Structure formats: structure tokens, C-alpha cells
Structure 1
Amino acid sequence: MTQSSPYKSTGGLIRIVRAFGYSLQGLGAAWRHEAAFRQEVALSAILIPLGLWLGNSTTERLLLAGMLVLVLVVELVNSAIEALADAVSADHHPLLGRAKDLGSAAVLLTLLLTGAVWMSILVPRWWPA
């Protein structure tokens, strides 16, 4: 028989309410401590409404806005990796440095994909082939 972890919740409505609260705490921490997250939120606050307006179909609107939300999600994961790495050791460690670099690379690839999606949808409208 295995014992369950005392750190795991039991479920139910209380778990959902607590999880929502933890999520809000995480967003608040990202806003307070992560300049890149604040910059991406500011850009998204401009581009998401623009994408919803420029999209010709529901699919285009979801792609244009959704890609920006994906950037924020990946930035949150990257920030979590960086915070954990910093908590583990303030000293330089090659594996911690690699973890931070990999998180940063994930953000870069997501930004490039976002740019490609926006260009693939919008460029043909102004410069038809």
C-alpha cells in the first residue's frame, strides 16, 4: 500500500478554488518580478484586440490572439525554471545555466512562431502572390 503525499490535495471544489488562487499568485509574481512578462503583456494588450479585429474568421482570430497567449504561457514556464534554478543555487552551475538557456530558447521559438503565424495570415492581404 502506498501512502499519498501530504502535499497533494484531495480534490473537490476547495481544490479548484485554491488552485485558482495559486494561479493568480503566480500571475502576480510574474508581473512584479519579470520585466519580460510585463513587456509581453503590454504588447499582447495591443496585439490581441488588433488580431481579433484583423482576423477574417474565427480560426484566424484564434490563431492571432492565441499565439500571443502562448507566448505568455511559455514566458511563465521560463520564469518558473529561472526562479527554481536561482533557488537551487546562486553559484554558477552548468546544468542550471543550461536549464535557463533552454527556457529562453523556448520563448524565442514561440516568439518566432508567433511572428510567422501573424505574417502568414496578414501579409497575403496586403501583398497578394
Structure 2
Amino acid sequence: MSSRHSPFKSKGGFSRILNAARYSAQGLSAAIRHEAAFRQELLLAIILTPAAFWVGQTAMQVMLLLCSLLVVLIVELLNSAVEAVADAVSLENNQLIGRAKDLGSAAVLLSLLMAAGLWIVCTLNHWYRIL
């Protein structure tokens, strides 16, 4: 490992905040342009966001429903980042790269299952007052 500092790291201050915002916007734009799974999950989040205010009985339930959608998007972005780096390293069949991609995919699945569970429980509670 080199002790040199990366030339890509910013120095700090207000310009760092502006650069971070720009990089974040570029990342979201890239995800929308290049990642079909992110587009699908984003569309689902857009559709379900208003529903969260109808399904949720309390402010806490609404926040849980909204946060579950956000977690799915965050995990998908991280998975896409892992896949992009893995593909940049090698497009050949590599056991470790394959495992990294599978682990990222498993994380997306778990986030989707968590969100689905929360939505199912809150929706059942909305209709049948189970809790």
C-alpha cells in the first residue's frame, strides 16, 4: 500500500460539499441510465411513496415504509457499484468476482424481502387492525 495521498481526494471546505453533491448526482444519473434493476425499484418507490401515507397508521409506520423503499435503492446502488468495479477488473470468469456479485445480489434480495415484509404487515394492519 502506498503512503501517497490520492489526487482524487478533495481538501475539504465548501467546495468539497459541492463536489460531493455533483458526484452523487452523477451516480444517480448513471444508475438511472445504465441499471435496469435500479430503474424498476425507483419506479416502485415512486408508486409506493404516496401509498405509504395511506397505509401507515402513524408517523412511525409511514417513516418505516418510506425508509424501507430507500434502503432497497441504497442497496441496489451499492450492488451496482460492486458489479461495475468487478467488471472493470475482469470480464473473465473469476470465482471471487462471481462471489462478490452474488453477495451483492443477495443483499438486494434481503432488502426487498425486508421491505415487502414491512409493507405486508402495515397493509394488513391498515385493513384488519392486526397490531
Q: TM-score, normalised by structure 2?
A: 0.91
Letter in 2 for 1:113: M
Q: Which residue of 2 aligns with 1:83?
A: 84
Q: Percent identity between the aligned chains?
A: 52
Q: Give the distance between the partners of 2:127 and 2:114, measured in 1 at CA.
A: 20
Query: 2:25 is matched with which residue?
Result: 24
Judge conservation of contact 2:52–2:65 (CA < 8 Å) in 1. Answer: yes
Residue number in structure 1 paired with 2:56: 55
Structure 1 stretches of 5 or more lacking a match?
none
1:122, CA displacement in angstroms?
Answer: 1.7
1:110 partnered with 2:111: yes
8 Å contact from structure 2 (residues 86, 97) kept in 1: yes
Report the residue type matching 2:86 in the other structure: A
In the aligned structure 1, how far is the partner of 2:42 from the partner of 2:129?
Answer: 31
In the alignment, what sits opposite 1:13?
14
> Which AA in structure 2 matches 1:121?
C
1:3 deviates by 5.4
Shift of 1:20: 0.3
Q: Deviations over 1:6-46 (max 9, x none)?
A: 33211110000000000000000000100000001111110
Q: What is the aligned partner in structure 1 of residue 123 from structure 2?
A: 122
* AA in 2 matched with 1:101: D
- Distance in 2 (alpha carbons) for counterparts of 1:91 and 1:78: 19
Which consecutive residues of structure 2, in runs of 5 or more, have no partner in the other structure? none
Which stretches of structure 1, 4 residues or longer, exceed 3 Å deviation after superposition?
2-5
Q: Secondary structure at the match of 2:12?
A: coil
The residue type equivalent to 1:116 in the other structure is G
Q: Which amino acid counterpart does residue 16 of structure 2 have in structure 1? A: R
User: Which amino acid in 1 is paired with 2:100?
Assistant: A
- The one-letter code matched in structure 2 to 1:30 is A
Give the TM-score normalised by structure 1. Answer: 0.93
Output the aligned Cα RMSD: 1.4
Q: Which residue type is aligned with residue 51 of structure 1?
A: A
